[in-house]
Amino acid sequence: MGRLSILAAGVGGQGIITLASTLARAAVASGTKALVAETHGLSQRGGSVEVHIRLGDVHAPLIAPGDADVLIGLELIEAARRVSHLRSGGLLLAADTILRPAVPGVRVPSREELVSAMRRAAGDAKVVVVPARELASKVGGLLFSNMVMLGALAGSGILEGFVGVEELERVIGTLRRREENLKAFRLGLDYCSTHCSSGRG
Amino acid sequence: MPSPEVLGPPGAEVLLLGNEAIARGALEAGLGFASAYPGTPSTEIVETLASVAKKLGIYVEWSTNEKVALEAAFAASASGVRALAAMKHVGLNVAADAFMSISYVGVRSGLLIVSAEDPSMWSSQNEQDNRFYGMMAYVPVFEPHSPAEAKEMAATALDFSEKLGTPILMTPTTRVSHTRGPVKLGQLRPRAPKGYFKKDPKRFTLIPAHARERRKAIIERWMRVKEAVNDLPFNRVEGSSRVVIVASGISYAYVREAVDRLGLDVAVAKVGTPVPLPARLVREAIAGAERVLVVEELEPVVEMQLKDLVASEGLDVEVHGKDYVGYEGEMTLDRAARAILEFMGKNPLETPWRAGNTVDLELPERPPAMCPGCPHRATYFALRKAVNSLSLKAVYSGDIGCYSLGVLPPFQEQDLILEMGGSIGAANGLARVAEGQVAIAIIGDSTFYHAGLPALANAVYNGNPLLVLVMDNRVTAMTGEQPNPSTGITAMGEKARWIPIEDVARGLGVEKVVVFDPYNLKEAFNALRDALKYVVDNKKPAVAVARRACSLYIDRIARRRGVETPLYAVVEDKCTACGICYNAFTCPAIMVKSDGKAWIDPDLCTGCGVCAQVCPFNAIVKVREGSPEWEKLWF
Ligand SMILES: Cc1ncc(C[n+]2csc(CCOP(=O)(O)OP(=O)(O)O)c2C)c(N)n1
């Protein structure tokens, strides 16, 4: 069946673990082996968080450097921090959100600086910046960005053969606030259906 | 929240977190009693069991520390009920005294001790290898490589334990405990936590005369264990070749994938019981081999035993391990691949896995931070002011909990962080020796009950002048807000007696005890100043209790119940862009606009209102009242 490795990154509290476990549950429901490695780190909220999602013919829970097929960033700084994990020809989906680290006197790069630096480093990987905040606010707030991004991932087509959209929607339907979550997922999916073409080539 | 799939039907394949899988495995093997002190990455084992305890009729508790948890679980086993005690790796240090003795007396019903290891120290102060504890105590060690195997191991361990009369130490690592993977469910067989303690003083009372007999007994037991581990399904050999890779625990997952993807001609000996080494099986695996590489995390536990085997049997085979694999940090795919390639005389750079370009832009670090509304932040803010107002030189003897984050700027009010309870212990020495400095021990409520009490008794008994500041947020926050004696509920959600910290302090003979609400900065400042002054003037210990529940805990309940919280906002015209709220107070809900003025993200604000007291220009105001229920959520 091959394998698909997805690195999801963001800030504690953004719902990355929900994103990852939803995807993995849907994978298992689609008959695909899934491993999701979480790193809780020191604080519940506010720290940098990454989750490794591996689908298909896999044993190792962690993705090796340069072996990620997809990098999903729920926040731009955190996405930029991990571009080197992406394989050449991979897909980078980054939410258009910047969260300031709670550090005295910190200098936060601008959106433009981050996006162009990411594009430069990503080489031949495809980079798509998803207006996740804007889409999520249509359904009820920043809270739903994680489902927008999961939708974007599904919309990119890269999950084909691993996880079905129907299975994804079924699992999302079991979450609390299912209507909002499903709507957010579909907004992301529609966005990416027009703005991302599969990074697999 | 544990996944509902933990109680799924037999035969189903579901996605479980490694720790949930361990809980399920124990339930499939007739568990009746479980106890633990929380600690990453072990916490979800007992959290899961607690969430289903009432339904299944088993007993589950959060104990006050790991030693108590282990002693209680042991007693359940000795009384005929299968039991589990869980902790993080350093928790076994706390429980080590009990662990040694329990090995000596042995078990009756199955006893599984889970010590979750943390290579790379994702949330720990060290990366000790507890497999050595197994060696030291003659306790077999089970080391799973996946959630699926963790479930099988937990179940098998309870049977094996009972059959051989030995406790079992299971050592999942972060990458097993905190990995979700597919798990095939078996039949649930929970049992009621009711047994009977049959007396047998020759065995259970370790006076020297009895202990000498038990020492003989456990060495005999070890001989039987050494033979029996060879037949466990967790130890096996895959393929045959003149080159053998021996992989223990999670390292097997990386080795298997690396060998498959690189298409290497090697045999893989998978070891699931690193202590004792399944010698018969490994000996067969290396019989025709010329060279063997042991791939394992942390210390050379398997490697040493294998070298011993090779030397004592005079085998003609070269054994390597740490010389190629290294000691530090967790295993990764590329680390395993590089070690194997180099060992095989190939170019280690031949792996297909190489990091790509990094961005050519300086990215700000994002260290973990105290949450919006965290009462610890307010306490640190007030403490700094109180210390300065008395022109004191303070040594902040810190401890382990969310408040450890006070080590970072802007607060930097943690000068020492050792181990749980160490704050008060070390402050005893500082109070006696550090001249011209005042010792301030900073400890959380859970940590206070875990290991703080003996050290506070010491301060009173020896008259050591120190301030103990207990940051009482009413839960064990860092590990996910478990209840403790300061909460007033049990692991199974029953109402319990709340033990107020000030009562304990007074009971131990502390003469100066102050209690304050950190959300009121003035009150906090006055109380801390008062207590500090008392320590300096009277040369006696004092205790200050900062009482305000964990904001994340309350915020979660509020969101779940749809309770509206108050909301604060910045008045544009009054904000002078001074930066005190975001640079000196650093609430993560406060953002900076391009003109340097502050902006409060309404999605993140918890309504604590402390920033409004911090702002010297009264530029932060309440723009929404919380609903009346919100006030009632705080306890
Ligand atoms: C011996 C040991 N057991 C468990 C842990 C895991 N652990 C880290 S902090 C902490 C408790 C924190 O609770 P508390 O003292 O109430 O502080 P809070 O996080 O609530 O601020 C625990 C259990 C540990 N580090 N060492």
Model pLDDT for residues A61-101, shown as the tens digit of each residue: 999 999 999 999 999 999 999 999 999 999 999 999 999 99
- Mutation pick for ligand 1 pocket among B126, B479, B550, B554 (CB with most ligand atoms within 8 Å): B479
Of B360, B372, B409, the CB nearest to A103: B409
Beta carbons within 10 angstroms of residue B239's beta carbon: 14
**How close A199 gets to chain B, by Cα (Å)?**
16
Q: What are the backbone dihedrals phi and psi of residue B156, each rounded to the nearest 5 degrees, phi first?
A: -60, -40
Task: Provide the chain B residues 288-317 that lie in CB contact (below 8 A) with chain A.
Answer: none
Q: How far is the CA of A82 from the centre of ligand 1 (A)?
A: 30
Q: b vs e for B166-180, b when ≥16 Cβ sit within 10 Å of the residue's Cβ?
A: bbbbbbbbbbbbbbb
CB distance A9 to A81 below 8 Å: yes
Residues across chain B: 635
In 3-state terms, what secondary structure has residue B609? coil
How far is Cα B442 from Cα B398, in angstroms, rounded to an integer?
5
Q: How far is the CA of B426 from the centre of ligand 1 (A)?
A: 17
Of B356, B410, B588, the CB nearest to A84: B356
Q: How far is the CA of B193 from the centre of ligand 1 (A)?
A: 28
Mean of all residue pLDDT scores within chain B? 97
Above pLDDT 70, what percent of chain B?
100
For residue B501, the one-letter residue type is I
Above pLDDT 90, what percent of chain B?
97
B562 touching chain A per CB within 8 A: no
Q: How far is the CA of B546 from the centre of ligand 1 (A)?
A: 17
- Where exactly are the structural domains of chain B? 4-230, 236-349, 375-549, 564-634
Of A12, A39, A80, the CB nearest to B363: A80
pLDDT band at B333 (very low <50, low <70, confident <90, very high): very high
Give residue A121's pLDDT: 97
Query: Which tokens sit at B573?
Result: 């015209």
State pLDDT tens for residues B449-500: 999 999 999 999 999 999 999 999 999 999 999 999 999 999 999 999 999 9
B256 touching chain A per CB within 8 A: yes
For the CA atoms of B426, B39, B173, B182, the dihedral, rounded to the nearest 10 degrees, stands at -170
- Mutation pick for ligand 1 pocket among B420, B472, B548 (CB with most ligand atoms within 8 Å): B420
Give residue A44's pLDDT: 63
Residue in chain A lying closest to B1 (CA) = A18
Taking the CA of residue B443 as reference, the ligand 1 atom at the shortest distance is 15
Residue nearest atom 16 of ligand 1, based on CA coordinates: B446
- Determine, for residues A67 and B352 on separate chains, whether the beta-carbon distance falls below 8 Å: yes
Closest CA to B82 of B8, B154, B5: B154
- Determine, for residues B363 and A107 on separate chains, whether the beta-carbon distance falls below 8 Å: no
Query: Which tokens sit at B529?
Result: 């100043």
Whether ligand 1 lies within 6 angstroms of the CB of B400 is answered as: yes
Whether ligand 1 lies within 6 angstroms of the CB of B476 is answered as: yes
* A126 sits in which H/E element: strand A126-130
pLDDT band at A199 (very low <50, low <70, confident <90, very high): very low
State pLDDT tens for residues B407-435: 999 999 999 999 999 999 999 999 999 99
Query: Which tokens sit at B55?
Result: 């339904």
Give me the helices (H) in B196-278, please.
201-204, 208-228, 251-262
B552 touching chain A per CB within 8 A: yes
Query: Which tokens sit at B33?
Result: 């009693």
State pLDDT tens for residues A102-161: 899 999 999 999 999 999 999 999 999 999 999 999 998 888 999 999 999 999 999 999
Beta carbons within 10 angstroms of residue A4's beta carbon: 24
Give residue A200's pLDDT: 39
Give me the helices (H) in B276-369, please.
279-286, 301-313, 322-325, 333-343
Whether ligand 1 lies within 6 angstroms of the CB of B336 is answered as: no
**A chain contacts of residue B258, beta-carbon cutoff 8 Å:** 60
B403 touching chain A per CB within 8 A: no
Closest CA to B217 of B166, B277, B151: B166
Q: What are the backbone dihedrals phi and psi of residue B78, each rounded to the nearest 5 degrees, phi first?
A: -65, -20
How far is Cα B538 from Cα A104, in angstroms, rounded to an integer?
37
Least confident of B46-55, B58-67, B346-355, B381-390: B346-355
Q: Give yes or no for residue A198 having a pLDDT over 60.
A: no
User: How far is C-alpha B602 from the geometric centre of its chain's CA atoms?
Assistant: 32
Q: What secondary structure letter does DSSP report for B371?
A: P
Above pLDDT 70, what percent of chain A?
95
Residues across chain A: 201
Of B366, B410, B592, the CB nearest to A47: B366
Q: How far is the CA of B521 from the centre of ligand 1 (A)?
A: 25
Mean pLDDT within B164-170:
98
Q: Give yes or no for residue B508 having a pLDDT over 80.
A: yes
**How close B186 gets to chain A, by Cα (Å)?**
18
Whether ligand 1 lies within 6 angstroms of the CB of B479 is answered as: yes
Give residue B603's pLDDT: 85
Q: Which of B359, B561, B592, B594 to mutate to test the interface with A (most CBs of A within 10 A)?
A: B359
Q: What is the CATH number of domain B564-634?
A: 3.30.70.20
Whether ligand 1 lies within 6 angstroms of the CB of B451 is answered as: no
CB distance A69 to A4 below 8 Å: yes
| pTM of the complete model | 0.97
Of B353, B552, B583, the CB nearest to A67: B353
**How close B577 gets to chain A, by Cα (Å)?**
12
Mean pLDDT within B330-346:
97
Cα separations (Å) of B427 from B390, B421, B441, B520?
20, 10, 6, 27
For the CA atoms of B102, B103, B106, B111, the dihedral, rounded to the nearest 10 degrees, stands at 70
How far is Cα B115 from Cα B87, in angstroms, rounded to an integer?
5
- Determine, for residues A78 and B366 on separate chains, whether the beta-carbon distance falls below 8 Å: yes
State pLDDT tens for residues B559-568: 899 999 999 9
**How close A186 gets to chain B, by Cα (Å)?**
22
Give residue A43's pLDDT: 55
Q: Do domains B4-230 and B236-349 have the same CATH topology?
A: yes
Residue nearest atom 13 of ligand 1, based on CA coordinates: B476
State pLDDT tens for residues A12-31: 889 999 999 999 999 999 99
Residue nearest atom 20 of ligand 1, based on CA coordinates: B477
Fold of B375-549: Rossmann fold (3.40.50)
Mean pLDDT within B532-561:
96
Whether ligand 1 lies within 6 angstroms of the CB of B487 is answered as: no
Closest CA to B368 of A169, A65, A49, A122: A49
Of B254, B367, B402, the CB nearest to A60: B254
The CATH architecture of the domain made up of B4-230 is 3-Layer(aba) Sandwich (3.40)
Query: Which tokens sit at A138?
Result: 């249509």
Beta strand pairing call for B111-116 and B83-88: parallel
- Mutation pick for ligand 1 pocket among B88, B122, B445, B469 (CB with most ligand atoms within 8 Å): B88
Of A12, A62, A117, the CB nearest to B333: A62
Fold of B236-349: Rossmann fold (3.40.50)
Closest CA to B515 of B492, B535, B544, B540: B544
Residue nearest atom 22 of ligand 1, based on CA coordinates: B39
Q: b vs e for B100-121, b when ≥16 Cβ sit within 10 Å of the residue's Cβ?
A: ebbbbbbbbbbbbbbbbbbbbe
Q: Give yes or no for residue B352 having a pLDDT over 90.
A: no
Residue nearest atom 10 of ligand 1, based on CA coordinates: B401
State pLDDT tens for residues B298-318: 999 999 999 999 999 999 999
Residue in chain B lying closest to A90 (CA) = B356
- Determine, for residues A33 and B603 on separate chains, whether the beta-carbon distance falls below 8 Å: no
pLDDT band at A201 (very low <50, low <70, confident <90, very high): very low
Interface size between A and B, measured as CB pairs under 8 A? 207
- Helices and strands (H and E) in chain A: how many: 7, 6
Superfamily name with CATH number, domain A3-99+110-193: Pyruvate-ferredoxin oxidoreductase, PFOR, domain III (3.40.920.10)
Q: Give yes or no for residue A45 having a pLDDT over 90.
A: no
For residue B602, the one-letter residue type is P
Taking the CA of residue B94 as reference, the ligand 1 atom at the shortest distance is 1
